[in-house]
Amino acid sequence: QVHLVESGGGSVPSGGSLRLSCAASGGGFSITRYPMAWFRQAPGKEREGVASFHEDGKVNYREAVKGRFTISRDVAASTIDLQMNNLKPEDTGVYYCAADIRYRDQHWYNPYNFWGQGTQVTVSS
């Protein structure tokens, strides 16, 4: 069973930056063997994929965050980070880390429901 713990959320003005981190652990779990992703959920909206880091090192980003967000992986620390720059009010939401996700054509899925508890990101205009 994989255990995911997010950190790094907060409140920033529009144009600000935040860095989220997801620590992954579990018996025999390795972030190099499974695709990892960040999702977010705004109030009243469905949860959506934001960025993913795949086993082969390939990354994918939601169109709305391309050029502003960067996902990275620290194998030694077993963490998946999300650097968010030039934040906009529409980036506001709870951000979740997910493991063993599936991705196709700008759609992210979490079929095994490996989620962290989430971290709040609030961007004020």
pLDDT (tens digit per residue) in 85-125? 999 999 999 999 999 999 999 999 998 899 999 999 999 99
Residue 1 has pLDDT above 90, yes or no: no
How much of the chain, in percent, has pLDDT values that exceed 70? 100
How far is 2 from 72, CA to CA, in rounded Å? Answer: 19
pLDDT at 75: 94
The phi and psi torsions of 66 (rounded to 5 degrees) equal -60, 135
Q: How far apart are CA 3 and CA 58, in angstroms?
A: 23
Are the CB atoms for 50 and 37 separated by under 8 Å? yes
Q: How far apart are CA 84 and CA 62, in angstroms?
A: 13
